[in-house]
Homo-oligomer: A and B are copies of this chain.
Amino acid sequence: MPESETDVLLSRREIEEAHERIRGHAHRTPVLRSSTFDRRFGAELFFKCENFQKVGAFKFRGAFNAVSRLSPEQLERGVTTHSSGNHAQALALAAHIAGTRARIVMPKTAPAVKLAAVRGYGAEVVLCDQTLEAREATVAQVIEETGATLVHPYDHRDIIAGQATAAKELIEDVPSLDLILMPVGGGGLASGTALAAYHFSPDTRVVGVEPKEADDAFRSLETGDRQPPVTPPRTLADGLQTALSDLTFGVLKNHLHSIVTVDEESIVDAMRLIWERMKIVVEPSGAVPFAAVHAGAIDVEGLRVGIILSGGNVDLGKLPWASG
């Protein structure tokens, strides 16, 4: 825990301001419950449904907050990022709403449906080779040519402040939570959630959940040294393959209670169980926190537990279980 307010990345007021900025643009997503799950796990589970958020994931909160903070000059020149995931669509839509131009660097190998989605929100897609080096070089070139502002998916105060609003809403809607669980990828959502709890519900424990096959954040906290991402990616939770940045690692060291890990089978089981019982579509990354409950990686008995279902973007033609 931080020793003084100066150790805290974001103030209470900064998160409140982010929340005011996104109001009317981002959805205040519902909190759903399942009496079946409550009985089965002997707990009260509260699911914050960011799969119902604009673009189908919490990422829109951070992207919209970040774009809202740009100056008129920056808006004139546009924004850019490299992403083939939910942040790409989130930034594309946020830029569209703000009336600025987004240039999204995506690998040539990205599925056509993802390219189409980003273009559908009015952004320009800049294709590059698949390597991280090629992506970064292409973004650098876009910035040099256009003066666009880079909006990083998580290594960014305004992004973290935006992501924090999901937990802020959950805390407002569900008082006296004992525990909040969310997935850990690059650490933007985890940092925002931990900071929201610190300011708005300090007695709530915040625990991150990570796939065993992408456990860099778990190992970073264990060793005290930031670990590189697991390569090549081995988890089907494709939103969680990224590694922490210095910024998010610093927040998680100070504010996160712990991280637990779950195996791939547990993620698929949890995802399918959510679809079957709750009748909602979550992506593998979004099912990761519930997998920790389902697999017994964390003890929730008798507790009031908030679970952030981070997103619902999944290729329905490629489900991680046999069909047909």
Contact = CB atoms under 8 A, between A and B. Distances in A.
A93 to B, nearest CB: 11
Given A30-B30, A52-B279, A280-B281, A321 B317 contact: yes
A94 to B, nearest CB: 15
A232 B272 CA distance: 32
Nearest to A271: B316
A317 B281 CA distance: 15
Nearest to A57: B279
Given A30-B30, A279-B51, A279-B52, A322 B317 contact: yes
Interface string A24-40: 00000010100000000
A5 interface: no
A316 B319 contact: yes
Contacts of A280: 279-281
Nearest to A32: B52
Nearest to A33: B27
Nearest to A34: B52
A324 B319 contact: yes
A323 B319 contact: yes
Given A280-B280, A281-B280, A316 B312 contact: no
Interface string A49-68: 10110001000000000000
Interface string A304-321: 000000001000111101
A279 B312 contact: yes
Nearest to A281: B279
Given A30-B30, A280-B279, A280-B281, A316 B324 contact: no
A223 to B, nearest CB: 37
A200 interface: no
A73 interface: no
Contact of A56 (B279, B316, B317, B324): B279
Interface string A278-320: 1111100000000000000000000000000000100011110
Nearest to A53: B279
A316 B276 contact: yes
Interface string A168-196: 00000000000000000000000000000
Contacts of A321: 316-317
A51 B279 CA distance: 7
Contacts of A281: 275-276, 279-281
A323 B312 contact: no
A34 to B, nearest CB: 10
17 contacts: A30-B30, A49-B279, A51-B279, A52-B278, A52-B279, A272-B316, A275-B281, A275-B316, A276-B281, A279-B312, A280-B280, A281-B281, A316-B319, A318-B323, A318-B324, A319-B324, A322-B324
- Pick the 3 closest A-B CB pairs, nearest first: A279-B312, A323-B323, A279-B281
Given A52-B278, A56-B279, A318-B323, 11 more contacts: A272-B316, A275-B281, A276-B316, A279-B281, A280-B280, A280-B281, A316-B319, A317-B323, A319-B323, A323-B323, A324-B324
